[in-house]
Structure 1
Amino acid sequence: MTELKPGYIAQLTVKGQEGSRWILDGGEHDIFVNASEFDETPEIGKKIEVFLYMNRRSELAATAHKPKMTIGTFGWGRVIRIDEKEGAYVDIGSSFEVLVNKADLPRVKALWPKMDDELFMTLRTDLGGNIFARLATEERVLELIEEAPKDLFNKKLNARAYRLLPVGSFFLSIPENYRIFVHNTEREQEPRLGEEVEVRVIDVHDDGTLNGSLLPRKEERLGDDSETVYQYLTDVGGKMPFSDKSTPDEISEMFGMSKAAFKRALGKLMKEGKVTQSDGWTSVK
Protein backbone atom coordinates (compact mmCIF):
# COMPACT_ATOMS: atom_id res chain seq x y z
CA MET A 1 0.00 0.00 0.00
CA THR A 2 1.20 3.53 -0.86
CA GLU A 3 2.31 5.49 2.20
CA LEU A 4 -0.63 7.41 3.59
CA LYS A 5 -0.02 11.05 4.51
CA PRO A 6 -2.20 13.92 5.76
CA GLY A 7 -3.15 16.49 3.13
CA TYR A 8 -3.87 13.98 0.35
CA ILE A 9 -6.85 12.17 -1.15
CA ALA A 10 -6.71 8.38 -0.73
CA GLN A 11 -8.83 5.44 -1.83
CA LEU A 12 -9.25 3.10 1.13
CA THR A 13 -11.19 -0.13 1.61
CA VAL A 14 -14.07 -0.16 4.09
CA LYS A 15 -13.44 -2.85 6.75
CA GLY A 16 -16.48 -2.37 8.94
CA GLN A 17 -18.22 -0.13 11.45
CA GLU A 18 -17.39 0.60 15.08
CA GLY A 19 -20.06 2.60 16.87
CA SER A 20 -20.45 5.95 15.12
CA ARG A 21 -17.32 5.46 12.99
CA TRP A 22 -16.44 3.50 9.90
CA ILE A 23 -13.14 1.62 9.85
CA LEU A 24 -10.94 1.98 6.77
CA ASP A 25 -7.96 -0.18 5.91
CA GLY A 26 -4.85 1.94 6.44
CA GLY A 27 -2.34 -0.89 6.26
CA GLU A 28 -0.50 -1.07 9.58
CA HIS A 29 -3.14 1.08 11.31
CA ASP A 30 -6.87 1.40 10.83
CA ILE A 31 -8.20 4.84 9.84
CA PHE A 32 -11.53 6.06 11.12
CA VAL A 33 -14.14 8.35 9.57
CA ASN A 34 -17.35 9.57 11.20
CA ALA A 35 -20.44 7.76 9.95
CA SER A 36 -22.40 11.04 9.93
CA GLU A 37 -20.30 12.26 6.97
CA PHE A 38 -21.80 9.76 4.52
CA ASP A 39 -25.02 10.38 2.62
CA GLU A 40 -25.16 6.69 1.73
CA THR A 41 -24.00 3.76 3.85
CA PRO A 42 -20.55 2.57 2.70
CA GLU A 43 -20.30 -1.00 1.47
CA ILE A 44 -17.87 -3.26 3.34
CA GLY A 45 -15.06 -4.42 1.06
CA LYS A 46 -15.44 -1.51 -1.35
CA LYS A 47 -12.97 1.35 -1.78
CA ILE A 48 -14.06 4.88 -0.99
CA GLU A 49 -12.29 8.20 -1.58
CA VAL A 50 -11.43 10.22 1.52
CA PHE A 51 -9.20 13.11 2.59
CA LEU A 52 -6.54 12.37 5.20
CA TYR A 53 -5.60 14.62 8.13
CA MET A 54 -4.18 14.45 11.67
CA ASN A 55 -6.83 14.59 14.40
CA ARG A 56 -6.42 16.20 17.82
CA ARG A 57 -4.87 13.02 19.19
CA SER A 58 -2.19 13.21 16.47
CA GLU A 59 -3.68 10.16 14.75
CA LEU A 60 -4.16 9.85 11.01
CA ALA A 61 -7.89 10.20 10.35
CA ALA A 62 -10.11 10.62 7.31
CA THR A 63 -13.06 12.70 6.21
CA ALA A 64 -15.50 12.05 3.39
CA HIS A 65 -15.73 15.83 2.79
CA LYS A 66 -12.98 16.35 0.25
CA PRO A 67 -11.48 19.88 0.22
CA LYS A 68 -11.19 22.26 -2.72
CA MET A 69 -7.42 21.82 -2.69
CA THR A 70 -4.83 19.32 -1.41
CA ILE A 71 -1.07 19.26 -1.08
CA GLY A 72 0.14 19.97 -4.60
CA THR A 73 -3.19 21.30 -5.91
CA PHE A 74 -4.71 24.77 -5.68
CA GLY A 75 -8.15 26.25 -5.10
CA TRP A 76 -10.11 29.06 -3.48
CA GLY A 77 -10.58 28.99 0.30
CA ARG A 78 -13.18 31.22 1.98
CA VAL A 79 -12.03 33.30 4.95
CA ILE A 80 -14.23 32.58 7.96
CA ARG A 81 -12.42 34.53 10.68
CA ILE A 82 -9.38 36.72 11.27
CA ASP A 83 -7.03 36.44 14.24
CA GLU A 84 -4.66 39.42 14.36
CA LYS A 85 -2.03 37.37 16.19
CA GLU A 86 -2.23 34.28 13.97
CA GLY A 87 -3.67 35.17 10.58
CA ALA A 88 -6.70 34.11 8.53
CA TYR A 89 -8.70 30.94 9.17
CA VAL A 90 -10.09 29.51 5.96
CA ASP A 91 -12.91 27.13 5.03
CA ILE A 92 -11.50 24.67 2.48
CA GLY A 93 -14.77 22.84 1.90
CA SER A 94 -13.88 19.98 4.23
CA SER A 95 -14.79 19.17 7.83
CA PHE A 96 -12.19 21.48 9.37
CA GLU A 97 -10.63 24.91 8.83
CA VAL A 98 -6.98 25.75 8.16
CA LEU A 99 -4.79 28.74 8.95
CA VAL A 100 -3.02 31.10 6.57
CA ASN A 101 -0.22 32.40 8.78
CA LYS A 102 -0.07 36.16 9.25
CA ALA A 103 3.49 36.09 7.84
CA ASP A 104 1.90 35.27 4.45
CA LEU A 105 -0.56 38.16 4.66
CA PRO A 106 0.14 41.79 3.64
CA ARG A 107 2.19 43.89 6.06
CA VAL A 108 -0.53 46.55 5.99
CA LYS A 109 -3.44 45.12 7.99
CA ALA A 110 -5.97 47.22 6.07
CA LEU A 111 -5.16 44.95 3.10
CA TRP A 112 -5.76 41.71 5.02
CA PRO A 113 -8.75 39.73 3.77
CA LYS A 114 -12.09 40.07 5.52
CA MET A 115 -14.70 37.44 6.24
CA ASP A 116 -16.01 35.83 3.02
CA ASP A 117 -13.07 37.02 0.92
CA GLU A 118 -11.41 34.06 -0.84
CA LEU A 119 -7.72 33.17 -1.07
CA PHE A 120 -6.06 31.19 -3.85
CA MET A 121 -4.01 28.61 -1.98
CA THR A 122 -2.70 25.12 -1.46
CA LEU A 123 -2.17 22.92 1.61
CA ARG A 124 1.02 22.04 3.46
CA THR A 125 1.83 20.10 6.64
CA ASP A 126 4.16 20.91 9.53
CA LEU A 127 6.56 18.39 11.09
CA GLY A 128 3.71 16.92 13.14
CA GLY A 129 1.53 16.40 10.08
CA ASN A 130 -0.89 19.22 10.95
CA ILE A 131 -2.37 20.88 7.87
CA PHE A 132 -2.07 24.61 7.16
CA ALA A 133 -2.53 26.79 4.08
CA ARG A 134 -0.05 28.58 1.85
CA LEU A 135 -0.94 31.22 -0.71
CA ALA A 136 -0.18 30.39 -4.33
CA THR A 137 3.12 31.79 -5.61
CA GLU A 138 3.29 33.74 -8.85
CA GLU A 139 5.23 30.89 -10.47
CA ARG A 140 2.44 28.41 -9.72
CA VAL A 141 -0.27 30.83 -10.80
CA LEU A 142 1.41 31.19 -14.20
CA GLU A 143 1.30 27.40 -14.56
CA LEU A 144 -2.42 27.26 -13.74
CA ILE A 145 -3.96 30.20 -15.62
CA GLU A 146 -6.02 29.97 -18.79
CA GLU A 147 -5.21 31.94 -21.94
CA ALA A 148 -7.65 34.81 -22.40
CA PRO A 149 -9.21 35.41 -25.85
CA LYS A 150 -8.66 38.70 -27.70
CA ASP A 151 -12.37 39.57 -27.73
CA LEU A 152 -12.28 40.28 -23.98
CA PHE A 153 -11.00 43.80 -24.64
CA ASN A 154 -13.22 46.38 -22.89
CA LYS A 155 -15.28 43.62 -21.27
CA LYS A 156 -15.83 43.36 -17.51
CA LEU A 157 -14.82 40.31 -15.46
CA ASN A 158 -15.34 39.31 -11.86
CA ALA A 159 -11.96 38.64 -10.27
CA ARG A 160 -10.24 38.16 -6.90
CA ALA A 161 -6.94 39.70 -5.82
CA TYR A 162 -4.26 37.09 -5.20
CA ARG A 163 -1.10 39.25 -5.06
CA LEU A 164 -0.59 42.85 -3.94
CA LEU A 165 2.45 44.97 -4.86
CA PRO A 166 3.10 48.74 -4.67
CA VAL A 167 3.17 48.87 -8.49
CA GLY A 168 -0.27 47.25 -8.78
CA SER A 169 -2.62 44.37 -7.99
CA PHE A 170 -2.82 40.91 -9.55
CA PHE A 171 -6.16 39.17 -9.98
CA LEU A 172 -7.57 35.87 -11.18
CA SER A 173 -10.90 36.02 -12.97
CA ILE A 174 -13.61 33.72 -11.69
CA PRO A 175 -14.46 31.20 -12.85
CA GLU A 176 -12.29 31.47 -15.99
CA ASN A 177 -8.89 31.74 -14.24
CA TYR A 178 -7.49 34.51 -16.46
CA ARG A 179 -4.60 36.49 -14.96
CA ILE A 180 -5.23 40.25 -14.76
CA PHE A 181 -2.78 42.97 -13.73
CA VAL A 182 -4.17 46.33 -12.58
CA HIS A 183 -1.56 49.11 -12.37
CA ASN A 184 -1.83 51.40 -9.35
CA THR A 185 -2.86 54.27 -11.65
CA GLU A 186 -5.91 52.26 -12.72
CA ARG A 187 -7.53 52.07 -9.28
CA GLU A 188 -8.84 54.55 -6.72
CA GLN A 189 -7.78 52.38 -3.79
CA GLU A 190 -5.82 49.19 -3.31
CA PRO A 191 -8.03 46.09 -2.97
CA ARG A 192 -7.77 43.66 -0.08
CA LEU A 193 -6.10 40.31 -0.61
CA GLY A 194 -8.88 37.96 -1.69
CA GLU A 195 -11.38 40.74 -2.35
CA GLU A 196 -13.72 40.18 -5.29
CA VAL A 197 -14.11 43.12 -7.67
CA GLU A 198 -15.28 43.87 -11.19
CA VAL A 199 -12.34 44.53 -13.53
CA ARG A 200 -12.57 46.15 -16.95
CA VAL A 201 -10.14 44.68 -19.48
CA ILE A 202 -7.98 47.39 -21.09
CA ASP A 203 -5.39 45.19 -22.82
CA VAL A 204 -5.08 41.57 -23.96
CA HIS A 205 -1.48 40.41 -24.34
CA ASP A 206 -0.23 37.87 -26.86
CA ASP A 207 0.48 35.40 -24.02
CA GLY A 208 -3.19 35.48 -22.98
CA THR A 209 -2.72 37.57 -19.82
CA LEU A 210 -4.71 40.76 -19.28
CA ASN A 211 -4.32 44.31 -18.08
CA GLY A 212 -7.33 45.76 -16.33
CA SER A 213 -8.76 48.82 -14.67
CA LEU A 214 -10.88 49.34 -11.58
CA LEU A 215 -11.79 52.85 -12.71
CA PRO A 216 -15.03 53.59 -14.56
CA ARG A 217 -14.84 54.50 -18.24
CA LYS A 218 -14.00 58.15 -18.94
CA GLU A 219 -17.58 59.03 -19.82
CA GLU A 220 -18.82 57.36 -16.63
CA ARG A 221 -16.27 59.25 -14.52
CA LEU A 222 -17.25 62.51 -16.21
CA GLY A 223 -20.86 61.91 -15.24
CA ASP A 224 -19.95 61.10 -11.64
CA ASP A 225 -17.73 64.19 -11.29
CA SER A 226 -20.35 66.53 -12.74
CA GLU A 227 -22.96 65.11 -10.38
CA THR A 228 -20.60 65.70 -7.44
CA VAL A 229 -20.02 69.34 -8.43
CA TYR A 230 -23.71 70.00 -9.13
CA GLN A 231 -24.77 68.42 -5.84
CA TYR A 232 -22.30 70.65 -3.97
CA LEU A 233 -23.67 73.70 -5.77
CA THR A 234 -27.25 72.94 -4.81
CA ASP A 235 -26.24 72.16 -1.22
CA VAL A 236 -24.59 75.59 -0.77
CA GLY A 237 -27.46 77.60 -2.22
CA GLY A 238 -26.63 77.53 -5.94
CA LYS A 239 -23.40 79.56 -5.98
CA MET A 240 -19.78 78.68 -5.17
CA PRO A 241 -16.42 80.52 -5.27
CA PHE A 242 -14.87 77.83 -7.47
CA SER A 243 -14.40 77.92 -11.23
CA ASP A 244 -12.00 76.67 -13.89
CA LYS A 245 -9.62 79.37 -12.60
CA SER A 246 -9.40 77.81 -9.12
CA THR A 247 -6.10 76.24 -8.05
CA PRO A 248 -5.56 72.47 -8.14
CA ASP A 249 -5.10 72.44 -4.34
CA GLU A 250 -8.41 74.23 -3.77
CA ILE A 251 -10.23 71.81 -6.05
CA SER A 252 -8.57 68.71 -4.57
CA GLU A 253 -9.34 69.81 -1.00
CA MET A 254 -12.99 70.61 -1.70
CA PHE A 255 -13.98 67.98 -4.29
CA GLY A 256 -11.32 65.26 -4.08
CA MET A 257 -10.63 65.42 -7.83
CA SER A 258 -7.94 66.80 -10.12
CA LYS A 259 -8.28 70.22 -11.75
CA ALA A 260 -8.56 68.54 -15.16
CA ALA A 261 -11.46 66.40 -13.94
CA PHE A 262 -13.09 69.45 -12.33
CA LYS A 263 -12.84 71.45 -15.57
CA ARG A 264 -14.34 68.56 -17.55
CA ALA A 265 -17.21 68.34 -15.06
CA LEU A 266 -17.87 72.10 -15.27
CA GLY A 267 -17.71 71.93 -19.06
CA LYS A 268 -20.32 69.19 -19.09
CA LEU A 269 -22.62 71.16 -16.75
CA MET A 270 -22.24 74.34 -18.85
CA LYS A 271 -22.89 72.43 -22.07
CA GLU A 272 -26.06 71.04 -20.50
CA GLY A 273 -27.06 74.59 -19.53
CA LYS A 274 -27.08 73.87 -15.81
CA VAL A 275 -24.45 76.36 -14.62
CA THR A 276 -22.73 79.63 -15.56
CA GLN A 277 -19.38 81.18 -14.54
CA SER A 278 -18.59 84.81 -13.78
CA ASP A 279 -15.75 86.57 -11.89
CA GLY A 280 -14.42 83.34 -10.42
CA TRP A 281 -17.84 82.14 -9.27
CA THR A 282 -19.96 79.29 -10.57
CA SER A 283 -23.76 79.50 -10.25
CA VAL A 284 -26.76 77.32 -10.97
CA LYS A 285 -28.80 78.65 -13.89
Structure 2
Amino acid sequence: MNEALGSVVSAVMVDENQDYYFVQPARNGQTYRLAKSEAPQVLHIGGSVKGFVYENADHQLQMTCAHIPTVQVDHYDFGTVVGVRRDLGVFVDIGLPNKDIVVSLDDLPNLKHLWPQPGDRLLLALRVDDHDRLWGQLADEEIFRTIAAKPSRQLINQDVTATIYRLKLAGSLALTADYHLAFIHPSERDQEPRLGQVVKGRVIGLSSHGGVNLSLKPRAYQAINDDAAQILALLKHSQDHQLPLTDKSSPAEIKALLGISKGQFKRAVGHLLRARLVNQINGKLILLKEPSDD
Protein backbone atom coordinates (compact mmCIF):
# COMPACT_ATOMS: atom_id res chain seq x y z
CA MET A 1 0.00 0.00 0.00
CA ASN A 2 1.21 3.50 -0.85
CA GLU A 3 1.24 5.01 2.64
CA ALA A 4 2.35 8.44 1.39
CA LEU A 5 -0.98 9.13 -0.35
CA GLY A 6 -3.18 11.67 1.35
CA SER A 7 -0.34 13.18 3.38
CA VAL A 8 2.25 15.94 3.25
CA VAL A 9 5.66 14.41 2.50
CA SER A 10 9.17 15.50 1.60
CA ALA A 11 10.45 14.41 -1.81
CA VAL A 12 13.49 14.74 -4.07
CA MET A 13 13.38 15.99 -7.65
CA VAL A 14 14.57 13.26 -10.04
CA ASP A 15 13.52 14.56 -13.47
CA GLU A 16 11.62 17.32 -15.27
CA ASN A 17 10.02 18.37 -18.53
CA GLN A 18 8.68 21.70 -19.74
CA ASP A 19 5.72 21.75 -17.37
CA TYR A 20 6.45 19.35 -14.53
CA TYR A 21 9.04 18.31 -12.02
CA PHE A 22 9.03 14.62 -11.15
CA VAL A 23 9.68 13.93 -7.51
CA GLN A 24 10.09 10.87 -5.31
CA PRO A 25 9.48 10.67 -1.55
CA ALA A 26 12.16 8.93 0.47
CA ARG A 27 11.64 5.15 0.93
CA ASN A 28 8.56 5.26 -1.32
CA GLY A 29 9.70 4.41 -4.84
CA GLN A 30 6.73 6.18 -6.43
CA THR A 31 7.16 9.15 -8.75
CA TYR A 32 4.82 12.13 -8.53
CA ARG A 33 4.37 14.99 -10.96
CA LEU A 34 4.60 18.51 -9.54
CA ALA A 35 3.50 21.37 -11.76
CA LYS A 36 6.35 23.87 -12.08
CA SER A 37 3.83 26.65 -11.56
CA GLU A 38 3.22 25.26 -8.06
CA ALA A 39 6.80 24.67 -7.00
CA PRO A 40 7.93 27.00 -4.19
CA GLN A 41 11.31 27.47 -5.91
CA VAL A 42 13.25 26.35 -8.96
CA LEU A 43 14.26 22.73 -8.44
CA HIS A 44 17.34 20.90 -9.67
CA ILE A 45 18.12 17.19 -9.62
CA GLY A 46 18.41 16.16 -6.00
CA GLY A 47 16.60 19.24 -4.73
CA SER A 48 14.02 18.67 -2.00
CA VAL A 49 10.43 19.86 -1.81
CA LYS A 50 7.49 19.25 0.51
CA GLY A 51 3.88 18.87 -0.59
CA PHE A 52 0.63 16.90 -0.47
CA VAL A 53 0.55 13.74 -2.61
CA TYR A 54 -2.51 12.09 -4.11
CA GLU A 55 -3.86 10.42 -7.23
CA ASN A 56 -5.75 12.95 -9.37
CA ALA A 57 -8.96 12.35 -11.33
CA ASP A 58 -6.90 11.10 -14.31
CA HIS A 59 -5.26 8.45 -12.08
CA GLN A 60 -1.89 10.24 -12.15
CA LEU A 61 0.23 10.45 -9.02
CA GLN A 62 0.60 14.13 -8.21
CA MET A 63 2.12 16.46 -5.63
CA THR A 64 0.69 19.88 -4.88
CA CYS A 65 2.43 22.63 -2.95
CA ALA A 66 -0.19 25.32 -3.63
CA HIS A 67 -3.40 23.48 -2.75
CA ILE A 68 -2.56 21.54 0.39
CA PRO A 69 -5.90 20.48 1.92
CA THR A 70 -6.60 20.50 5.63
CA VAL A 71 -8.35 17.14 5.16
CA GLN A 72 -5.62 14.48 5.14
CA VAL A 73 -4.95 11.00 6.45
CA ASP A 74 -5.59 11.27 10.22
CA HIS A 75 -6.41 15.00 9.84
CA TYR A 76 -10.09 15.92 10.06
CA ASP A 77 -11.79 18.99 8.68
CA PHE A 78 -15.00 19.92 6.90
CA GLY A 79 -15.40 19.40 3.18
CA THR A 80 -18.28 20.45 0.94
CA VAL A 81 -20.40 17.91 -0.92
CA VAL A 82 -20.34 18.61 -4.67
CA GLY A 83 -21.94 15.51 -6.18
CA VAL A 84 -23.94 12.35 -5.54
CA ARG A 85 -23.73 8.97 -7.26
CA ARG A 86 -26.29 6.52 -5.97
CA ASP A 87 -24.20 3.45 -6.78
CA LEU A 88 -21.02 4.82 -5.20
CA GLY A 89 -21.54 7.55 -2.61
CA VAL A 90 -21.04 11.31 -2.42
CA PHE A 91 -18.19 13.44 -3.77
CA VAL A 92 -16.60 15.96 -1.41
CA ASP A 93 -14.46 18.98 -2.32
CA ILE A 94 -11.51 19.24 0.07
CA GLY A 95 -9.67 21.92 -1.91
CA LEU A 96 -7.78 19.94 -4.53
CA PRO A 97 -7.97 21.42 -8.06
CA ASN A 98 -8.49 18.13 -9.91
CA LYS A 99 -9.77 15.60 -7.39
CA ASP A 100 -12.92 15.21 -5.29
CA ILE A 101 -12.99 12.63 -2.51
CA VAL A 102 -15.68 9.95 -2.36
CA VAL A 103 -17.43 8.98 0.87
CA SER A 104 -18.64 5.45 0.23
CA LEU A 105 -22.32 4.57 0.25
CA ASP A 106 -21.40 2.03 2.95
CA ASP A 107 -20.82 4.97 5.31
CA LEU A 108 -24.04 6.79 4.38
CA PRO A 109 -27.63 6.36 5.64
CA ASN A 110 -29.62 3.43 4.28
CA LEU A 111 -32.35 5.85 3.19
CA LYS A 112 -31.00 7.69 0.17
CA HIS A 113 -33.19 10.76 0.70
CA LEU A 114 -31.14 11.33 3.87
CA TRP A 115 -27.83 11.31 1.96
CA PRO A 116 -25.90 14.60 1.82
CA GLN A 117 -26.69 16.86 -1.13
CA PRO A 118 -24.46 19.39 -2.93
CA GLY A 119 -23.65 22.24 -0.54
CA ASP A 120 -23.88 20.09 2.60
CA ARG A 121 -20.85 19.71 4.88
CA LEU A 122 -19.08 16.61 6.19
CA LEU A 123 -16.32 16.34 8.77
CA LEU A 124 -13.88 13.80 7.36
CA ALA A 125 -10.31 12.59 7.05
CA LEU A 126 -8.73 10.50 4.28
CA ARG A 127 -8.00 6.79 4.21
CA VAL A 128 -6.10 4.68 1.67
CA ASP A 129 -7.48 1.27 0.73
CA ASP A 130 -5.53 -1.82 -0.38
CA HIS A 131 -5.74 -0.66 -4.00
CA ASP A 132 -4.18 2.74 -3.23
CA ARG A 133 -7.47 4.58 -3.61
CA LEU A 134 -8.28 7.59 -1.43
CA TRP A 135 -11.65 7.62 0.36
CA GLY A 136 -13.31 10.02 2.74
CA GLN A 137 -13.59 8.74 6.30
CA LEU A 138 -16.36 10.36 8.32
CA ALA A 139 -15.52 11.52 11.83
CA ASP A 140 -16.84 9.26 14.59
CA GLU A 141 -18.34 10.19 17.95
CA GLU A 142 -14.95 10.32 19.65
CA ILE A 143 -13.68 12.92 17.16
CA PHE A 144 -16.71 15.12 17.72
CA ARG A 145 -16.37 14.86 21.50
CA THR A 146 -12.69 15.78 21.20
CA ILE A 147 -13.32 19.01 19.29
CA ALA A 148 -16.49 20.02 21.16
CA ALA A 149 -16.68 23.09 23.37
CA LYS A 150 -18.58 23.15 26.66
CA PRO A 151 -21.80 25.18 26.41
CA SER A 152 -23.02 27.72 28.96
CA ARG A 153 -26.54 28.54 30.10
CA GLN A 154 -26.28 31.87 28.29
CA LEU A 155 -26.82 29.92 25.06
CA ILE A 156 -30.40 29.02 25.98
CA ASN A 157 -32.88 30.62 23.56
CA GLN A 158 -30.10 31.74 21.21
CA ASP A 159 -30.35 31.17 17.47
CA VAL A 160 -27.59 28.88 16.16
CA THR A 161 -26.44 27.26 12.94
CA ALA A 162 -25.49 23.60 13.11
CA THR A 163 -24.32 20.79 10.82
CA ILE A 164 -25.99 17.39 11.13
CA TYR A 165 -23.34 14.70 11.64
CA ARG A 166 -25.29 11.61 12.77
CA LEU A 167 -28.82 10.28 12.23
CA LYS A 168 -30.36 8.13 14.95
CA LEU A 169 -33.81 6.82 15.77
CA ALA A 170 -33.74 8.90 18.95
CA GLY A 171 -32.99 12.10 17.03
CA SER A 172 -30.40 14.04 15.03
CA LEU A 173 -26.91 14.84 16.29
CA ALA A 174 -25.31 18.09 15.16
CA LEU A 175 -22.32 20.36 15.72
CA THR A 176 -23.00 24.08 16.02
CA ALA A 177 -20.88 26.74 14.35
CA ASP A 178 -19.31 27.37 17.76
CA TYR A 179 -18.46 23.67 18.14
CA HIS A 180 -21.12 22.72 20.67
CA LEU A 181 -22.57 19.23 20.39
CA ALA A 182 -26.30 19.41 19.78
CA PHE A 183 -29.27 17.03 19.88
CA ILE A 184 -32.55 17.50 18.02
CA HIS A 185 -35.44 15.35 19.22
CA PRO A 186 -37.92 14.26 16.51
CA SER A 187 -40.62 16.34 18.23
CA GLU A 188 -38.51 19.48 17.67
CA ARG A 189 -38.35 19.20 13.87
CA ASP A 190 -40.93 19.01 11.10
CA GLN A 191 -38.88 16.52 9.07
CA GLU A 192 -35.64 14.63 9.56
CA PRO A 193 -32.65 16.60 8.26
CA ARG A 194 -30.07 15.04 5.96
CA LEU A 195 -26.60 13.94 6.99
CA GLY A 196 -24.37 16.98 6.45
CA GLN A 197 -27.26 19.42 6.19
CA VAL A 198 -26.74 22.86 7.71
CA VAL A 199 -29.78 23.80 9.80
CA LYS A 200 -30.88 26.84 11.75
CA GLY A 201 -32.43 26.37 15.16
CA ARG A 202 -32.53 27.67 18.68
CA VAL A 203 -31.13 26.32 21.92
CA ILE A 204 -33.93 25.12 24.17
CA GLY A 205 -31.79 23.62 26.92
CA LEU A 206 -28.56 21.99 28.00
CA SER A 207 -28.25 18.23 27.75
CA SER A 208 -26.91 15.88 30.40
CA HIS A 209 -24.17 14.80 27.98
CA GLY A 210 -22.41 18.15 27.84
CA GLY A 211 -24.16 19.53 24.76
CA VAL A 212 -27.25 21.54 23.91
CA ASN A 213 -30.78 20.63 22.87
CA LEU A 214 -32.03 22.34 19.74
CA SER A 215 -35.42 23.01 18.22
CA LEU A 216 -35.79 23.53 14.48
CA LYS A 217 -39.39 24.66 14.88
CA PRO A 218 -40.23 28.36 14.70
CA ARG A 219 -41.04 30.25 17.85
CA ALA A 220 -44.73 30.56 18.55
CA TYR A 221 -45.00 34.12 17.27
CA GLN A 222 -43.07 33.25 14.12
CA ALA A 223 -45.44 30.41 13.29
CA ILE A 224 -48.69 32.36 13.53
CA ASN A 225 -50.86 32.86 10.49
CA ASP A 226 -51.77 36.17 8.85
CA ASP A 227 -54.97 36.63 10.85
CA ALA A 228 -53.16 36.17 14.17
CA ALA A 229 -50.40 38.52 13.00
CA GLN A 230 -52.99 41.17 12.16
CA ILE A 231 -54.57 40.88 15.60
CA LEU A 232 -51.16 41.11 17.28
CA ALA A 233 -50.32 44.22 15.26
CA LEU A 234 -53.58 45.92 16.28
CA LEU A 235 -53.03 45.05 19.92
CA LYS A 236 -49.47 46.29 19.83
CA HIS A 237 -50.39 49.66 18.35
CA SER A 238 -53.55 50.32 20.37
CA GLN A 239 -53.05 52.70 23.26
CA ASP A 240 -54.07 50.25 25.99
CA HIS A 241 -53.01 47.08 24.10
CA GLN A 242 -56.62 45.86 24.07
CA LEU A 243 -59.34 45.12 21.53
CA PRO A 244 -63.07 45.09 22.32
CA LEU A 245 -63.45 41.55 20.98
CA THR A 246 -63.42 37.98 22.27
CA ASP A 247 -64.49 34.64 20.86
CA LYS A 248 -67.94 35.51 22.22
CA SER A 249 -68.24 38.58 20.01
CA SER A 250 -70.73 38.53 17.14
CA PRO A 251 -69.64 37.81 13.59
CA ALA A 252 -70.71 41.34 12.61
CA GLU A 253 -68.52 42.97 15.29
CA ILE A 254 -65.51 40.89 14.25
CA LYS A 255 -66.09 41.58 10.56
CA ALA A 256 -66.46 45.33 11.15
CA LEU A 257 -63.19 45.63 13.12
CA LEU A 258 -60.98 43.03 11.49
CA GLY A 259 -62.58 42.16 8.17
CA ILE A 260 -62.43 38.41 8.84
CA SER A 261 -65.01 35.77 9.72
CA LYS A 262 -65.72 34.65 13.26
CA GLY A 263 -64.23 31.22 12.43
CA GLN A 264 -60.98 32.83 11.28
CA PHE A 265 -60.95 35.02 14.39
CA LYS A 266 -61.45 32.08 16.76
CA ARG A 267 -58.66 30.08 15.13
CA ALA A 268 -56.29 33.05 15.31
CA VAL A 269 -57.15 33.83 18.93
CA GLY A 270 -56.78 30.17 19.83
CA HIS A 271 -53.26 30.21 18.44
CA LEU A 272 -52.40 33.37 20.37
CA LEU A 273 -53.85 31.95 23.58
CA ARG A 274 -51.79 28.76 23.25
CA ALA A 275 -48.70 30.90 22.64
CA ARG A 276 -49.57 32.85 25.82
CA LEU A 277 -49.46 36.14 23.95
CA VAL A 278 -53.02 37.25 24.76
CA ASN A 279 -55.87 36.71 27.21
CA GLN A 280 -59.62 37.34 27.14
CA ILE A 281 -60.90 39.33 30.13
CA ASN A 282 -64.21 41.13 30.61
CA GLY A 283 -65.14 41.06 26.94
CA LYS A 284 -61.74 42.29 25.75
CA LEU A 285 -58.74 40.75 24.08
CA ILE A 286 -55.63 41.85 25.98
CA LEU A 287 -51.99 41.69 24.89
CA LEU A 288 -50.00 39.93 27.61
CA LYS A 289 -46.56 40.58 26.21
CA GLU A 290 -44.73 41.56 23.07
CA PRO A 291 -43.74 38.63 20.86
CA SER A 292 -40.34 37.61 22.17
CA ASP A 293 -37.86 34.75 21.94
CA ASP A 294 -39.71 32.55 24.43
TM tier, smaller: 0.7 to 0.9
Q: CA deviation at 1:16?
A: 6.0
* Residues 11/265 of structure 1: CA separation in 2 closer, same or farther (3 Å cut): same
Task: Give the equivalent residue in structure 2 for 1:281.
Answer: none
* Residues 200/93 of structure 1: CA separation in 2 closer, same or farther (3 Å cut): same
The 5 A counterparts of 1:119-158 are 119-158=122-161
Q: CA deviation at 1:264?
A: 3.4
Deviation sequence 1:133-155 (CA, Å, 0-9, x none): 12211222212222233322221
Task: Give the equivalent residue in structure 2 for 1:280.
Answer: none
Structure 1 stretch 163-172 or stretch 209-218: which is displaced more?
209-218
Q: Given the two structures, how large is their TM-score scaled by the length of structure 1? A: 0.73
Is this contact kept in 2: 1:81–1:89, CA < 8 A? Answer: yes
The 5 A counterparts of 1:233-252 are 238-239=260-261
Task: Give the equivalent residue in structure 2 for 1:53.
Answer: 54
The 5 A counterparts of 1:1-285 are 5-14=4-13, 17-27=16-26, 28-38=29-39, 41-44=41-44, 47-54=48-55, 60-64=61-65, 65-95=67-97, 96-174=99-177, 176-205=178-207, 208-222=210-224, 226-227=228-229, 238-239=260-261, 261=271, 264=274, 271=285
Q: CA deviation at 1:34?
A: 2.0
Aligned partner of residue 103 in structure 1, secondary structure: helix
Aligned partner of residue 228 in structure 2, secondary structure: helix
Is this contact kept in 2: 1:6–1:53, CA < 8 A? Answer: yes
Is this contact kept in 2: 1:33–1:61, CA < 8 A? Answer: yes
Deviation sequence 1:163-187 (CA, Å, 0-9, x none): 111211111122x322111111111
Partner Cα distance (1:16, 1:61) in 2:
14
Q: Given the two structures, how large is their TM-score scaled by the length of structure 2? A: 0.71
Partner Cα distance (1:9, 1:199) in 2:
38
Partner Cα distance (1:111, 1:12) in 2:
42
Larger radius of gyration: 2
Q: CA deviation at 1:97?
A: 0.5
Q: CA deviation at 1:194?
A: 1.0
Partner Cα distance (1:139, 1:118) in 2:
18
Is this contact kept in 2: 1:147–1:207, CA < 8 A? Answer: no
Is this contact kept in 1: 2:220–2:275, CA < 8 A? Answer: no
Aligned partner of residue 271 in structure 1, secondary structure: strand
Q: What are structure 1's unaligned runs of at least 5 residues?
A: 245-250, 274-285
Q: What are structure 2's unaligned runs of at least 5 residues?
A: 233-254, 288-294
Aligned partner of residue 25 in structure 2, secondary structure: coil
- Alignment RMSD: 3.6
